[in-house]
Amino acid sequence: MKRTIVIVLFVSLFSLIGGRNAAAASSSWAVIDAETGRLLKGANENVPLPIASLTKIWTAFTLLESNAPLGITTISSAAASAEGSSIYLEQGMSADVEGLLYGLMLRSGNDAAYALAEHAGGSVEGFTDLMNETALYYGLKDTFFTNPSGLHDEQHLSTAYETALMLRYAMLNKKFREVSSAVNYTYEMNGKTAHWQNKHRLVRSNEFAVAGKTGFTKAAGRTLATYFEKENKKIIVVTLNDGNDWNTHRQLAEETFATYDLKTVAKKGNYRILPGIEGRLKKPIHVLLKKGEHKNLSHIVRIPRTEAKKSIGGWTVYYEDHPLLTAEISLTEK
């Protein structure tokens, strides 16, 4: 096993060569930096609550991560008769899996959720287990699923913060990003044509809203997740049980974009790391910060212990002892 040397350094020491009010206990919200996952602000953001159809973010992501084929699947009786919102699948029909993903994310079809679960997991129960395993793999410790659609169950819960992380991880998947950001989609199935419009109003109307998911059950209330991008700033807003969620998301996005700037915390170039060791960053490191937060940053460079004169290390930026992101640094021993 290779060992590493950990060097704690501050950029300033390197020599460069060349509010919102707290929500009620039954509701919560969170805003995170979509690049790093850092919580920027929130209220009750770590309280487990019902998330309704925001569940389908993880359903789609789990299917895509499972590498299940996107070909054709046959709709079962259980899928066709799934309770709740529907894209009107019929028992025995052949359906295109990619199209079902659009029906899942744009129209929130519970029948699509069950059909996809059976396709990728062999059964709804098996796929739900896979959703939970995937959640644990990604560090979502306060999230638990009992079904792939978001129908209410006392144990089917997540937090506003972890739901925002779900969307963050999912948006790193190219196919998920393509599906969830679509405004309209035309689906051909069994000789019939369906025209679907994204239920997420902001994705249709707000120039900075890239993707997202809506949700509602009587137990959960209105739930909403939105991925915003503006001037290379990327944030995710999640609200759980907010009856005014469209306006809340617009307001939180505007406040966050006005308050936070994308700051360069390490320029690209060559750095003297230790006597006899130099490092080169090929790209600058940018972090979303508000005024005064740069004081809470620290930097760690990890140097592999090797006989070679050249190696690849890792430059990690920390905010208050929490790692934000890591960039490769090319190291040379002089």
Which pLDDT score is estimated for 177?
98
Mean pLDDT (whole number) for 256-274: 96
- At residue 7 the predicted structure's pLDDT band, cuts being 50, 70 and 90, is very low
Least confident among 2-6, 81-85, 121-125, 177-181: 2-6
pTM above 0.95, yes or no: no
Which pLDDT score is estimated for 190?
76
Ranked by mean pLDDT, the top range of 12-26, 242-256, 295-309 is 242-256
Task: Please report, rounded to a whole number, the percentage of residues in the chain having pLDDT higher than 70.
Answer: 93
- At residue 20 the predicted structure's pLDDT band, cuts being 50, 70 and 90, is very low
Which pLDDT score is estimated for 191?
78
Over the stretch 204-233, which tens digit does the pLDDT of each residue have? 999 999 999 999 999 999 999 999 999 999
DSSP 272-284: EEETTEEEEESS-
Q: Which of 27, 28, 56, 234 is catalytic?
A: 56
Q: For the stretch 4-18, what's the b/e string if a residue is b when 16 or more beta carbons lie within 10 angstroms of its beta carbon? A: eeeeeeebeebeeee
Give catalytic status of residue 53 as yes or no: yes
Q: Which of 53, 85, 158, 180 is catalytic?
A: 53
- At residue 18 the predicted structure's pLDDT band, cuts being 50, 70 and 90, is very low
Over the stretch 41-56, which tens digit does the pLDDT of each residue have? 999 999 999 999 999 9
Contacts (Cβ under 8 Å, ≥6 apart) of 33: 40, 234, 235, 260, 288
E-strand stretches of the chain: 4-9, 16-17, 28-33, 39-43, 72-74, 94-96, 184-189, 192-197, 209-217, 221-230, 233-240, 260-266, 269-274, 277-281, 285-290, 297-304, 310-319, 322-333
Q: Which of 28, 76, 108, 180 is catalytic?
A: 108
Over the stretch 62-85, which tens digit does the pLDDT of each residue have? 999 999 999 999 999 999 999 999
